[in-house]
Each structure stands twice: as C-alpha cells, then as structure tokens.
C-alpha cells in the first residue's frame, strides 16, 4: 500500500488549543489494463479534495468539520458545488499517546494496512470516505485497528437495507524492535453485512467476509541503496453465510499467498504467487477472485496468479508526496497477463488560523 497516502492518527501537543485549516488533496491517475473474465479494465483520472477546520483541545481531543469532493477528469456531470459530495466530520479522543477513539470520518483506506487480496488501494481515492466508529492502538510491538464503516444508513420503513463493514487489522512483533530481523504475525478480517430489521427491503440478507493471517519477515540490510528485504506468507479464508448463486456462487474458499519484498531508496519491489480456490473479497483486488459478481457465470474456481509490483515514492518537501507504480498479474492457467500503472501527487497540509481560540473566546 502506498505510504504517501497514509495519515497519522497521533494528536500532537504542539497543536493544542489551535484552530487550523487542513487540506488533504490527492490527484491520481490509475489505468487497469484488465482483460480477464473476472475483472474488466478501467481508468481513473481524478482528484479527491478534503478541506476542513480542526480544533484541538490539549493533546487528547480534536474536532473536524469540512467536506470531501471527488472529481473525475472529463466528467461533465459535476460542476461547482456538486464537486463536494460528502460531509467530513470527525471527533477524536486520545486518552493515551498510543490509543485513539474516533467517531465520524475514519482514518480509512490504506491506513488500515490491509493486504491487497482484502483491499485494493485504488478504493482509497475512488470510494466514498469511510464513516462510523474506530479504535486504534500502536506501539513498537503491537498494531490494532478495528472499525465499523456504515456504508448505508437507513431509517424505519426505508426501501433499501442497511449496509456496513466491520474490520480488524492487527499485527504483533515476535522479535525485539532493535533486532535487524523483524518477525511479526498479522491478523486481518473484513466482514460485509447487508440487511436490517427496520427496512421494507426484500433483498436477501448478506453476511460474508474474509480472514487473513500468516508470518511477515523484514531484514534490515543497512543505509545503502537496498535498505531491507523479506519474505511473507499469508493464508486467507472466505465465508458467505447466505450465498446467492445469481451473484456469489460459492459459500467458502481459501488462498495462500507467499510474497517476497524488497525496499530500496525510494523504490519498493514485490513478487508473489497467489493460489486460491473459490475465493472472493468484496474490496480486494478483483484479479484474485474466483468469480465476477457482475457476471457470476464467469468463474475460475482455482486461481494461480504470479504478481509483480514496482513502486517509486518520495516525500517532496513537508506537505507533498509523490508516487508512481506498476503492477502485473499473470494467470498461469489462462496464460494471460493483466497489468496496471498509475501516479499520484498528494498535498497534506495544515495552517494555524487562531491560537488559544477557546481562551480568547
């Protein structure tokens, strides 16, 4: 996942009692050259823009209000204020330096650190911002991020069902942080729920999701051109409580995913082998799936896919991040290769408007 798109959850005492203008703006271009029966190609040329005001009380509480806009180049349907599609509102409480509780807009997308089979990172820039409830904890040995994202809120008598996603992303280090060889065990789950008790919808109940775990290794080589390298292996599962053969033909599946990764100066390289049987993830990379939910008659129950990824990222000045990436997915059974490439440029800045605002008011 691109590090340049991540955001820190930490509330710094330096921002205590300040009213700030924060702007998070990402320009992106991603081209998926897919010809697989499981996933068709698409191009995403656009900009996501979130201006907001934030006031922080001490080092434990902050409140944000603003709006998020998403515009695709050449989309004539959006003009003027139609650009801003969603309200941004976040309340955050940090009772301990490593613990954060969030209501409203979440630290979402790539911040969850989900692996690609569970979450394709382009959704960070193209999906509606996640909103709900979130709890995060991180220190040198542990990382925990658990959240509920309300994708669709309903009221009594609505004709559509409630839709939400529950997620848990965690990792525990097995070795001392000072060691050159780092070993850790991740555990991730993402559950999709569609249904409810107060709507009038006749849509069938949907409860489906994934789990993933494994072993992650990272060896710190030094400060030269190649900084670190490692080998990860993941095991994944898929379960659908009430499969709908017309959309989701399988009720369970599994996958294994060994990955070699290397980090160099500004460069990241990854090579992996995806072997799966009847696997699917609602937000995962589509080319890893065993069926196409838009055309469920298109099925590849067993998948053997070799992946290669290369990314170049740099932090430009304090507020700007820049990244270029290329990815390939070679289906060994079909003897076909799909690929994608893209670029992003992100401005993530803050400017103080008023200091000691509450005391002055």
Q: Please write the tens of the pLDDT for every residue from 198-228.
A: 767 777 888 999 999 999 999 999 888 899 9
Confidence at 361, pLDDT banded by 50, 70, 90: very low
In which residue are the tokens 């839709």 written? 163
CB 185 within 8 A of CB 172: yes
Cα 194 from Cα 308, distance rounded (Å): 34
pLDDT of the residue at 82: 56
Cα 246 from Cα 250, distance rounded (Å): 10
Token pair for residue 22? 């924060």
Quickly count: other Cβ atoms within 10 Å of residue 152's Cβ: 14
Please give the backbone phi and psi of residue 113, each rounded to the nearest 5 degrees, phi first.
Answer: 65, 30
Cα 261 from Cα 267, distance rounded (Å): 11
Q: What is the largest CA-CA distance in the chain?
A: 69
Q: Please write the tens of the pLDDT for every residue from 74-107.
A: 876 655 445 778 999 999 999 999 999 999 999 9
Q: Please write the tens of the pLDDT for every residue from 28-40.
A: 999 999 999 999 8
What predicted TM-score, i.e. pTM, was given to this entire model? 0.93
Extents of the domains making up the chain: 95-346
Answer yes or no: is pLDDT of 147 > 50: yes
Q: C-alpha dihedral over 194, 200, 204, 206, to 10 degrees? A: 10
Confidence at 60, pLDDT banded by 50, 70, 90: very high
């Amino acid at each position: 996942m691109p590090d340049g798109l991540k955001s820190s959850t930490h509330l710094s005492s330096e921002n205590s009692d300040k009213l700030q203008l924060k702007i998070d703006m990402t320009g992106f271009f991603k081209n998926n050259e897919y010809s697989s029966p499981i996933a068709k190609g698409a191009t995403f040329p656009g900009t996501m823009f979130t201006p907001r005001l934030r006031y922080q009380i001490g080092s434990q509480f902050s409140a944000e209000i603003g709006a998020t806009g998403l515009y695709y180049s050449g989309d004539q349907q959006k003009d003027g204020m139609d650009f801003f599609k969603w309200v941004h509102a976040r309340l955050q409480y940090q009772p301990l330096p490593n613990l954060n509780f969030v209501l409203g807009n979440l630290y979402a997308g790539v911040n969850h650190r989900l692996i690609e089979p569970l979450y394709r990172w382009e959704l960070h820039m193209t999906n509606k911002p996640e909103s709900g409830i979130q709890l995060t904890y991180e220190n040198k040995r542990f990382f925990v991020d658990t959240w509920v994202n309300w994708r669709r809120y309903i009221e009594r008598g609505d004709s559509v069902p409630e839709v939400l996603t529950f997620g848990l992303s965690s990792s525990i280090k097995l070795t001392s942080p000072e060691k050159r060889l780092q070993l850790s065990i991740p555990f991730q789950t993402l559950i999709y729920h569609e249904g409810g008790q107060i709507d009038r919808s006749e849509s069938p109940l949907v409860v489906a999701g994934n789990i993933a775990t494994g072993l992650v290794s990272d060896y710190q080589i030094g400060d030269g051109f190649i900084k670190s390298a490692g080998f990860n292996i993941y095991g994944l599962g898929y379960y659908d409580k009430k499969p709908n053969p017309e959309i989701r033909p399988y009720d369970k599946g599994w996958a294994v995913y060994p990955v070699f990764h290397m980090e160099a100066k500004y460069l990241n390289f990854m090579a992996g082998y995806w072997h799966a049987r009847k696997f699917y993830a609602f937000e995962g990379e589509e080319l890893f799936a065993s069926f196409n939910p838009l055309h469920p008659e298109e099925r590849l129950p067993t998948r053997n896919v070799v992946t290669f990824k290369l990314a170049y990222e740099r932090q430009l000045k304090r507020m700007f991040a820049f990244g270029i990436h290329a990815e390939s997915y070679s289906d060994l059974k079909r003897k076909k290769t799909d690929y994608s490439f893209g670029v992003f440029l992100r401005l993530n800045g803050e400017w103080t408007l008023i200091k000691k605002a509450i005391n002055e008011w």
